[in-house]
Amino acid sequence: MEYRIEHDSMGEMKVPANCYWGAQTQRSYQNFRIGTEKMPVEIIRAFAVLKRAAAMANCRLGKLDEKRCALIAQVCTEIIEGKLGGEFPLAVWQTGSGTQSNMNVNEVIANRGNAIAGAKLLHPNDTVNMSQSSNDTFPTAMHIAAVTALEHQLIPALDAMIVEMKRLEKENEGIVKSGRTHLQDAVPIGFSQEISGWRAMLEKCREMIRDSEKGLKELALGGTAVGTGLNAPEGFAKEAAAAVSELTGFDFITEDNKFHALSSKDAVVFSHGALKALAADMMKIANDVRWLASGPRCGIGEIFIPENEPGSSIMPGKVNPTQCEAVTMVAVQVMGNDTAVGIAASQGNFQLNVFMPVIIYNYLQSVRLLSDVLNSFRTNCVCGITANREKMSHNLHNSLMLVTALNPYIGYENSAKTAKLAYKENISLKEACVKLGFLTSEKFDEVFHPEQMV
């Protein structure tokens, strides 16, 4: 491999000749050979947005000339479009401030820009990082990446699933089945009512996720090293936030208190809490679906779900609820990520939190997994759910908890006696009620209508 010599404040470094990154990126690449997890591409794109926005702000404030601003913008566009994807090799497990990834982006923009210009117009620190510090750029990139991922990935996936649930709900109106509480038979419920519970969970989670974006749309940019804004011109923070909004289409603002913005990650914790709520609800929905589809002969078997793959290497003809299992595994991962995010966010010391790469890595993984699994579950399972009306009707009329309908006529204690006798002697509720002398056969038929109990 051919190398070129780059230098930074610590001296010279050999860098692959075909790469745009510089000495600081190379040092990090060599010093942190930890794991396989790389800085998420969403963060790199967010950095490109904020670097362009910072250049725009510096230009508007008279700190940067238009030629250099345009050059930075050109390279940032290439990064966002994925044209320089191989230039960002750094591990998540690096400095906790993300300094090396900030410098990775700075070096690539500077060297690529200079190559385009055919002249050394850009310097990683003096030009690309002008009015900035890693301490305010990395948390800014975190917020930009988080909002973008929510709006472009998760919210659309949620919306599509909500639409599918509404269709399923309408399609199953009028079907009455046995309810279940404590994994035991309960009073009847409409199948559409059960589905409406699933739909409402998704709608509530969507609201919570959207509410959490408020904190994520406040940016640290302009706080520089410790929150004082040292070396940033007056008005930079507001101009930079306005430029980020202009470039993304989302309403970002500058955080009023930069000391909070640099040292606290509470907005990400709060938002990930909403992701955990969605994970919890998705776990519940997937479990309901696989329980209701269990069987085909020895389970509940009240619904049919698509048969997508053979389920066993030894049992011929076996088919499993694989999409449900994928949902539940994603839910577990997101719940684990929430613990990591919360603990990492609690570790801010003095003016800076130095767990930022692991926080945003887990956050973005949660968004990505939830988005993908919502789409997979919808297209490969939920869209094909159909009611087993015969089994639902059988279970409904075989349920002892239908005795609840008799409470107003024979009282709670007599209804309990009726249910217990029916269970003990394996007879119908009607037979038990008449045998005990609580109602006549005619009166029982007059008051007992399971389909009307919903």
Q: Note the residue count of the chain.
A: 454
Residue of 111, 124, 129, 127 lying closest to 68 (CA atoms): 127
Partners of 253 in the β-ladder = 218
The conformation of residue 354, written as its DSSP 8-state character, comes to S
Tokens 């649930």, residue located: 165
Can you give the pLDDT of all 454 residues of the chain as single tens digits? 899 999 999 999 999 999 999 999 999 999 999 999 999 999 999 999 999 999 999 999 999 999 999 999 999 999 999 999 999 999 999 999 999 999 999 999 999 999 999 999 999 999 999 999 999 999 999 999 999 999 999 999 999 999 999 999 999 999 999 999 999 999 999 999 999 999 999 999 999 999 999 999 999 999 999 999 999 999 999 999 999 999 999 999 999 999 999 999 999 999 999 999 999 999 999 999 999 999 999 999 999 999 999 999 999 999 999 999 999 999 999 999 999 999 999 998 999 999 999 999 999 999 999 999 999 999 999 999 999 999 999 999 999 999 999 999 999 999 999 999 999 999 999 999 999 999 999 999 999 999 999 9
Q: Are 352 and 97 in contact (CB under 8 A)?
A: yes
Tokens 């389909």, residue located: 451
Instruction: Give the span between the Cα atoms of 426 and 420, in whole angstroms.
Output: 10
Residue of 172, 383, 376, 390 lying closest to 296 (CA atoms): 390
Catalytic pick among 7, 312, 441, 449? 312
Relative to beta strand 253-254, strand 218-219 is parallel
- pTM, two decimal places: 0.96
Q: State CA 105 to chain mean position distance.
A: 26
313 belongs to the catalytic site: no
Residue of 449, 367, 375 lying closest to 408 (CA atoms): 449
CA 87, 91, 92, 93 torsion: positive or negative?
A: negative
Instruction: Give the span between the Cα atoms of 212 and 265, in whole angstroms.
Output: 13
Instruction: Give the span between the Cα atoms of 223 and 135, in whole angstroms.
Output: 8
Q: Are 280 and 287 in contact (CB under 8 A)?
A: no
Say if residue 296 is preceded by a cis peptide, omega within 30 of 0.
Answer: yes
182 belongs to the catalytic site: yes
Domains and CATH numbers, the chain: 3-130 (1.10.275.10), 142-215+261-390 (1.20.200.10), 399-452 (1.10.40.30)
In angstroms, the Cα distances linking 308 to 51, 204, 296, 322, 384 are: 46, 30, 15, 8, 11
Residue of 338, 328, 324, 326 lying closest to 367 (CA atoms): 338
Instruction: Give the span between the Cα atoms of 180 and 288, in whole angstroms.
Output: 11
**Both tokens assigned to 59:** 């230009």
Residue 63 DSSP SS3 = coil
